């Protein structure tokens, strides 16, 4: 499918081709093994770091490429054609959902200490915001951080944390002012894997995204140094909301890449599969349904790139980003449902990628901002 020329340039398209080659040679042949193992090997992420994939928008002095949001979208779109969404999200939480907290709000000392290893893939990151019983309601956060001497003591737990089992560095939200209401009084902290009082409560068993390790994290009198505070004290909620914009653009691009790959696979199948004396492709109803889905994916793709372009220009794209998350999260599920249907019984067999892709897509209407929450954000701006 042709790329949106109005938004990309030769540098972005070169990146796209490089990512596509990596997916074809390194991911597709090994994805089944990663699914069974429940994680992406760290040497694979290290190889991505060597290729410059883990620091697309980060400063060159840390090993990054210094590109913009549009480049990220192209990267995500190609990554998501792998058919292994657990691999995709392992990478994207590190590059676009966790480490941006440090990149945006870290002190020069914090950046110098951690960013080179993050960009190189030597330290893999996760972000701890969601809590048991909390879901999308960040204001209901219950994890507490109390000042003690020159440092902090962290108590609480986090749920559904991608890279939680095997990650090295976490950016954790905690309430630092117990008397503040709602969104006030929340701060972000840097927590290293081996910090005393920090442990993985349990590894979670998911419906999809099987090659991504997901955990509940527990903090029990977890002692942090004073310089573990990330950003301004009691302003963490606003940092979380700011990063959600990036996360939702990325998830939208992920949906588009997955949906397009599903259509491509289904086209190959229906053009070969005979039924009732002709190919499935010769049935008008199937052709037209796939054609409409392709039109919807193409339209969603343009919205994703437009939102990314607005973000790259420094404009407030909250409405467009919320539209992206709501639209793409629902669309990818409709695409997967139809594509699996057109595969017939084979679509229910695990030897066919579409079976895995259906399971993996379901979370897209939930994670990173449920569709209903996103629609309310759009409605506020109508």
**Residue 353 token pair:** 């990628």
Total residue count of the chain as it appears in this document: 382
The CA–CA distances, whole Å, from 176 to 187, 192, 197, 236 equal 6, 19, 18, 10
Beta bridge partners of 369: none
CB 144 within 8 A of CB 187: no
The CA–CA distances, whole Å, from 273 to 266, 268, 269, 292, 352 equal 10, 9, 6, 21, 14
Q: How far apart are CA 177 and CA 163, in angstroms?
A: 28
Among this protein's residues, is 247 annotated catalytic?
Answer: yes
Identified catalytic residue from 35, 78, 131, 247: 247
Beta bridge partners of 191: 170
The H-assigned helical ranges of 98-158 are 99-105, 108-120
Would you call 372 exposed, middle or buried from its count of C-beta atoms within 10 A (0-12, 13-18, 19+)? exposed
CB 250 within 8 A of CB 97: yes
Q: How far apart are CA 275 and CA 254, in angstroms?
A: 33
- Active site positions, annotated: 247
């Amino acid at each position: 499918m042709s790329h949106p020329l109005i938004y990309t340039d030769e540098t972005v398209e070169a990146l796209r081709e490089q990512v596509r080659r990596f997916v074809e040679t390194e991911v597709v042949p090994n994805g089944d093994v990663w699914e069974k193992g429940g994680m992406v090997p760290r040497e694979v992420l290290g190889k991505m770091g060597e290729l410059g994939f883990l620091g697309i928008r980060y400063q060159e002095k840390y090993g990054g490429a210094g590109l913009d949001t549009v480049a990220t979208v192209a990267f995500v779109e190609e990554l998501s054609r792998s058919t292994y969404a657990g691999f995709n999200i392992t990478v994207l939480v590190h590059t676009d959902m966790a480490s941006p907290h440090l990149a945006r709000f870290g002190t020069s000392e914090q950046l110098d200490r951690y960013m080179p290893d993050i960009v190189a893939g030597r330290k893999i990151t996760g972000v701890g915001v969601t809590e048991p019983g909390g879901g999308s309601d960040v204001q209901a956060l219950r994890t507490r951080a109390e000042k003690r001497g020159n440092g902090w003591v962290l108590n609480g737990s986090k749920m559904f944390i991608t890279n939680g089992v095997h990650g090295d560095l976490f950016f954790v939200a905690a309430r630092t002012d117990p008397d503040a209401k709602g969104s006030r009084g929340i701060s972000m902290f840097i927590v290293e894997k081996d910090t005393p009082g920090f442990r993985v409560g349990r590894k979670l068993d998911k419906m999809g995204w099987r090659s991504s390790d997901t955990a509940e994290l527990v903090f029990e009198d977890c002692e942090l140094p004073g310089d573990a505070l990330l950003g301004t004290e009691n302003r963490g909620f606003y940092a979380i909301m700011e990063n959600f914009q990036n996360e939702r653009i990325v998830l939208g691009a992920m949906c588009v890449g997955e949906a397009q790959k599903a259509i491509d696979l289904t086209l190959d199948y229906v053009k070969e599969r005979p039924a009732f004396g002709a190919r499935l492709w010769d049935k008008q109803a199937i052709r037209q349904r796939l054609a409409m889905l392709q039109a919807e994916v193409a339209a969603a793709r343009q919205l994703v790139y437009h939102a990314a372009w607005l973000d790259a220009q420094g404009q407030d794209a909250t409405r467009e980003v919320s539209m992206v998350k709501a639209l793409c999260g629902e669309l990818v599920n409709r695409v997967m449902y139809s594509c699996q249907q057109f595969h017939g019984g084979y679509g229910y067999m695990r030897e066919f990628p579409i079976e895995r892709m259906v399971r993996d897509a379901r979370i897209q209407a939930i994670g990173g901002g449920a569709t209903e929450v996103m629609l309310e954000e759009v409605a506020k701006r109508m």
